[in-house]
Structure 1
Amino acid sequence: MDRRKFLKWGSFVTVTVATTGLTACGGDDDPAANPTPPATPDNSPVFTFQQGVASGDPKPDSVMLWTRVDGSNGGQPVNVRLQVSAQPDFSTLLVDSTLQALPEWDYTLRNKVTGLSAATTYYYRFLTGSQTSPVGRTRTAPAAGTPLSQLKFAFITCQDWSVNHWAGMEELVAQDLDFVVHMGDYIYETVGAAFQTGKVETRHTQLRLPDGTAGDDGSRYATTVNDYRYLYKTYRSDPRLQALHARFPVIAIWDDHEFSDDCWQDHQTYSVTDDATPRLARRRAASQAWFEFMPADVRFDAADASFQNIQIYRSFTFGNLATLVMTDERLYRADHVIPEQAAGSEIGSRYFVPKATLAGLEAQKMTAAAGALTPVSILGDTQRGWWQAQMDSANTTWKLWGNEVSLLRMQIDGTQAIASLIATGLVQSNAALAPLQAAMTTALVTDLTTAKGDGTYPTPAYASLKALLLANAGISNAVFDAAIAPALNAQLPPVTLLDQYILNADQWDGYNAERKSMMAFLKAQGIGNVVALTGDIHAFFAGPVMDDYDAATPAPVMVDLVTAGLSSNSFQSYFKSVVDNDAAFAAAKPLVYVEQNGAVVNTFNNTLSAFNPWLKHVNTDAQGYAVITLTAAKLSCSFHTLKPIADGVAPAQPATASTTVVEVLAGTPAVNVI
């Protein structure tokens, strides 16, 4: 057998088959093979491996290996040798193949090595000219059905180059993991956006896209394949990200920023009218760059002229312990139920959306589609059917779902929240009213609702509150009207805040009918021990996913575990910006933060917990990552909150400031905070 032969497969992916061990000084079929490449002549181009090496998508008998050759070759292919061994010193070679890095794929290499042994550690490297790449370490998955006592892995998300720091990657490299799951936002397509100004490591220089398109806020966003390639190459230039890839196989999916913020299909959403126009070329460029730079065993067809010329949803099995189903929640999703054009802004469309309006329009779209979920779907009909089949056929103890956007309901009752704030203010001005605080809140909800309904807002009659204070505090109506009512009226927000709101309709809350359908499927089929691994929202959350969040008594079906962004700005910081800069939401400031002795105190955690009792753990102002330890009896998730950046420098190791552990016991869709 000629070890240097390989099969062309699916665009530029190649496949090599591992052999029985052959000595590194050459085998009987290739006496010229040698782990040390010959010296490069002085006049020959020199190639390097500046983006390191990577492995991904571990199966029991295969793994995908990746590198990129950097250096000028006049647009000609570059021959690269791949060597794989079960020994770290490469004393015996299982693969010693010559591959070609092609200019049309930006000199990236993606080689699937098959014929490997299950649950085995392997080492790999690439060689060209006089250069040898860093050595990568990878591990195949245990064979399906194999009894496993434990599985340990991390899941991460949202690693903006231009915000905060990447010390968490360095910390992860030191851990003993089987693999890493990346939930997307591996790159951020924008450069110089408002949210990317401020604190960032000095070692991360300012990004400058080779092409790019100007945004309304002075930023630029990636548009061409060269732009997206530039971002991947720059991100991969960081030695900490390189070390993470070289240490563990990575199972990756994308979210939105690999193409465009809050995207759907081939549509962008930077302005009110943006998503009216398909961005086919941009979507294809983003997909190609992701395919080129991620070590993922997926299908990409450059000859397919559509924006759906790539399929990245796929599944993995780890012994008898876990099935991991990775979904794509951008390429097939329908437009947001309330388009930006209809709301006039992302506020009211994607964020802070009236719940009743959202539900009504979702029902209208389904009625127009004869009850089909197609126009209100994140997954699309085909992928949803595939997801159901994967869940139904999984015969492992746990069914893990790599899910980009949170399944947990996150809502606020504006009337209740404002009433609570006013009642708190009354107690602060008159401590004797403290025993009446809960009753005052209830009375104020009634009074505000009445005033909104009869048109007397923002000068409510306060009939319920007056009666309460007269009967229990001796405050006459005349005193109330003269001394209390004017102060209350002065702090009332716009009437639009007196409603029930969904905080983020870009996640599953904005596609509620499909979520309910999927939970109904799990219940009907008796499929238990389902846990979603989620990113996107830049916060830590944990809680059960209910069959119907709007039911009188919602029932838990599965669990969602959400990790904060590894570096991206926090969820709470975005809402802080809204209440600080949008007059319509200024009255909601105490729901997001308060200032005490000059320090900002996060109140958003308590606000969300108060209106969403299924949220068992909430940390809305953090960067970090999550580590899962899985056994047949329980899933243990450790949320690592990272230390902040200081004067442009990442914290010294250990980078973790605090850890919160949550557990899910087998057989019960519930979260216990340890």
Structure 2
Amino acid sequence: MDRRQFLKWGSFLTVSVAAAGCGGGSDSSDSGSQRQLAAGQGFGLGVASGDPRPDSIILWTRVDGGDGAASLSVTVQLSDKADFSNLLVNQALSADPGWDYTVRHKVTGLASATTYYYRFLTGKTVSATGRTKTAPAAGTPLSQLKFAYITCQDWSVNHWGAFDEIVQLDLDFVMHVGDYIYETVGAGFQTGNNETRHPPLTLPNGTKRADGAIYATTLADYRYLYKSYRADPRIQAVHANFPVISIWDDHEFSDDCWQDRQVYYPGDDSAPQTPRRRSANQAWFEYTPADVQLDLANPSFQNIQIYRSFAFGNLATLVMTDQRLYRSDHIIPETAVPDTGLANLGSRYFVPKAALAQAEAAKMASTGGNLLNVSILGTAQRAWWQQQMQGAATTWKLWGNEVSLLRMGVDGTMAVASLLEQGLSAALAQNFGLNLSAAQQQQLTGALYQDLLAADTSGATPVLSYANTQPLLAGFSGGAISAGVFAASVKPVLNGNLPPSMLLNQYILNADQWDGYNAERKALMAFLKGNGIGNVVGITGDIHAFFAGQVYDDFDAASPTPVMVDLVTAGISSNSFFSYFKNVVDTVPAFAKAAPLIYQTVNGQTVNTFTGTLQTFNPWLKYADTDAQGYAVVTLTPGKLSCAFHKMAKLANGVAPSPATASVKTVEVLAGTPAVNVL
């Protein structure tokens, strides 16, 4: 290998071209200087590969034993034989302190759809052997592609038993759709059961919040988190066995972030956190085997581009987008809503739908009707996404999409009417011996809904006349429940169960995902629909729940049309979507009477009603499990996409269960139809 075959890029990505007959010794042009470097002490974080293309792969490791000042010697070897009897790469490198002794090496000139083996050497120490695989060549007919996708692997809660299962699968690659690390330690959502093999983390620097949580602030903090997470041998095994295609979400920098802004408190995002964002960028770059470059000479926080695409024969195009670095501020600022004790309620979570739409329209009007201030992708990335989708010459177009595209809303007025009906029907049976039929219960819900719509909501609690409910009950009871009886015996029951007026509204549950950027979602769906681009499937994480559903051109239209499908996996370990909303109704008085929409207590056990509530108000959610941890496995053929959601069993006495999977639910998407079939 001569100098034309070996390059070193400024952002510490070295490159070599595979060539047969490299032999057993180093043939690096840098071998002279290499002999001047001290050897390291090993490879405690294992090895990894990523970004498989038909002719290249990225290889990664970290060399132990550095003193923070001098570089260490390391050699990378790659072979098409498991015993390394035929070396294709035997390249001497250096592990430098400026990059925390991590090594990212790109090998080009490889054969497509081929398994390779790689390892690293420093002194007399040899790393574990990694196995990787290149992508099939563009246009190659494929009968099948199989991959797992994962997200949200919080070190501090639940367990990582999923990785023991994933490593046993026969996969072409693994996708990670974000939240590889969590930037906080000791946050409220990180309390609860945790496996004993994950000791508490202590950031070297960190910044303490008022609630006691400490968040990563410096490059040393973020590096510490990656090193801690990668020290677990189970995640090392996944990296060693499969190439991983990764994108970040928010926690690689800051929860619910946008650009270089953090949003822990109302008004927290008024000042940029550029040094912190740049530190997060650099640590992700150092510890992720991705074929991207970081420009430290660029003083901006946008000094890295991680959105990129991949093709797998004639079967699939994979488009990975970055939904944090270019996104606009959340449509409703945290400072614009009442303080409930939870800074994100009313702005990012449980947001009034009409207020959100009005705020979005006002922002668009301020820039001449464009998407400049209401975008997740940003102008340049959105144009790139359109080019990738329109130019894809494959059957399937997969979108590596961090936050869900599915509408998740609740009609608070109808939900309250349903709750009032349930309580009233039980009271009528007990106090009047009046047992309503299912049809009568439905009529009663409708009457209560109309009365709630007509209520005076100017005060903290709504005032109802019950002009529809009282006559209906009089008819059901043959006149026994007269106006006087209703006023004396029924109205007090109803009034006692009325929630605050604020709940009588239509709500978007999560405005940090695409529901909060509805105009851009509609624009993207219009592009797909207008250009006849089909077989588009979102591969999504973030929300700590399993969902499978249809994405419509306009969820608010009278007759919306499905355009694509979104498949959302639960987090590997992070606390569930259900647990967040249970905490809201348990701790925020204004939402206390909405608790039955989230859970009920039956014989001392908590019963999740949140999943049913979501599916009632969002019929496009064909499958949902809001209280889950797990991962997803996709099997792709020319005729269909099959996705198996693996739900994890609970932690037992601090030990991950074996087997880790408690149940599997499979959904299918047939080619040519944006629909979900639940098996």
Name the SS for the 1:501 alignment partner: strand
Q: TM-score, normalised by structure 2?
A: 0.96
Query: Retained in 2: the 8 A contact 1:45–1:73?
Result: no
Structure 1 residue 26: deviation in Å?
A: 4.4
Structure 1 residue 32: deviation in Å?
A: 14
The one-letter code of the counterpart of 2:388 is Q
1:579 and 2:594 equivalent? no
1:214 and 2:208 equivalent? yes
Query: Retained in 1: the 8 A contact 2:460–2:501?
Result: no
Aligned to 2:132: 138
Whole-Å separation in 2 of the counterparts to 1:456 and 1:426: 22
Aligned to 2:436: 433
For these two proteins, the number of residue pairs brought into alignment is 665
Query: Taking structure 1 as reference, are residues 395 and 462 closer, same or farther at Cα in structure 2, changes over 3 Å only?
Result: same
Among 656, 665, 673, the residue aligned to 1:660: 665
Query: Taking structure 1 as reference, are residues 578 and 31 closer, same or farther at Cα in structure 2, changes over 3 Å only?
Result: closer
Deviation digits for residues 19-66 of structure 1 (CA, Å, limit 9, x no counterpart): 02444x449x68999xxx99x99xx76521111100000000000000
1:386 and 2:384 equivalent? yes
Deviation digits for residues 71-96 of structure 1 (CA, Å, limit 9, x no counterpart): 13461111110000000100110000
Whole-Å separation in 1 of the counterparts to 2:310 and 2:300: 27
Give the root-mean-square deviation of aligned CA atoms.
1.9
Deviation digits for residues 582-640 of structure 1 (CA, Å, limit 9, x no counterpart): 11000110000001001000000110000000000000000000000000000000000
Query: Taking structure 1 as reference, are residues 32 and 15 closer, same or farther at Cα in structure 2, changes over 3 Å only?
Result: closer
Aligned to 1:16: 16
Whole-Å separation in 1 of the counterparts to 2:615 and 2:87: 56
Aligned to 1:245: 239
Whole-Å separation in 2 of the counterparts to 1:124 and 1:32: 20
1:651 and 2:645 equivalent? no
Aligned to 1:165: 159
| Uncovered stretches (5+) of structure 2, i.e. residues with no partner | 430-434
Deviation digits for residues 408-432 of structure 1 (CA, Å, limit 9, x no counterpart): 0000000000000010111222341
Aligned to 2:355: 357
Whole-Å separation in 1 of the counterparts to 2:657 and 2:381: 41
1:211-610 matched pairs, under 5 angstroms: 211-344=205-338, 345-431=343-429, 432-435=435-438, 436-452=440-456, 458-474=462-478, 475-610=481-616
Structure 1 residue 4: deviation in Å?
A: 11
Structure 1 residue 473: deviation in Å?
A: 2.1
Greater CA drift, 117-126 or 431-440: 431-440
Query: Retained in 1: the 8 A contact 2:46–2:236?
Result: yes
Query: Retained in 2: the 8 A contact 1:125–1:136?
Result: yes
Name the SS for the 2:493 alignment partner: helix
Whole-Å separation in 2 of the counterparts to 1:55 and 1:522: 33
Query: Retained in 2: the 8 A contact 1:26–1:32?
Result: no
Query: Taking structure 1 as reference, are residues 55 and 479 closer, same or farther at Cα in structure 2, changes over 3 Å only?
Result: same
Question: Percent same amino acid among aligned pairs?
Answer: 65
Whole-Å separation in 2 of the counterparts to 1:231 and 1:417: 42
Structure 1 residue 454: deviation in Å?
A: 7.8
The one-letter code of the counterpart of 2:263 is T
The one-letter code of the counterpart of 2:619 is P
Name the SS for the 1:550 alignment partner: coil
Whole-Å separation in 2 of the counterparts to 1:292 and 1:279: 20
Query: Retained in 2: the 8 A contact 1:4–1:97?
Result: no
Whole-Å separation in 2 of the counterparts to 1:79 and 1:527: 50
Aligned to 2:149: 155
Query: Taking structure 1 as reference, are residues 26 and 49 closer, same or farther at Cα in structure 2, changes over 3 Å only?
Result: closer
1:192-211 matched pairs, under 5 angstroms: 192-211=186-205
Query: Retained in 2: the 8 A contact 1:79–1:99?
Result: yes
Name the SS for the 2:489 alignment partner: helix
Aligned to 2:87: 93
Name the SS for the 1:347 alignment partner: coil
Query: Retained in 1: the 8 A contact 2:39–2:74?
Result: no
Among 16, 29, 53, the residue aligned to 2:47: 53
Query: Retained in 1: the 8 A contact 2:40–2:73?
Result: no
Structure 1 residue 452: deviation in Å?
A: 3.2
Whole-Å separation in 1 of the counterparts to 2:28 and 2:178: 42
Aligned to 2:58: 64
Query: Retained in 2: the 8 A contact 1:81–1:97?
Result: yes
Structure 1 residue 472: deviation in Å?
A: 2.1
Deviation digits for residues 360-380 of structure 1 (CA, Å, limit 9, x no counterpart): 110011011101101000000
Deviation digits for residues 171-229 of structure 1 (CA, Å, limit 9, x no counterpart): 00000000000000000000111111110011001000000000111010000000000
Structure 1 residue 231: deviation in Å?
A: 0.1
| Uncovered stretches (5+) of structure 1, i.e. residues with no partner | none
Whole-Å separation in 1 of the counterparts to 2:411 and 2:671: 34
Whole-Å separation in 2 of the counterparts to 1:439 and 1:667: 40
Query: Retained in 2: the 8 A contact 1:426–1:433?
Result: no
Q: TM-score, normalised by structure 1?
A: 0.96
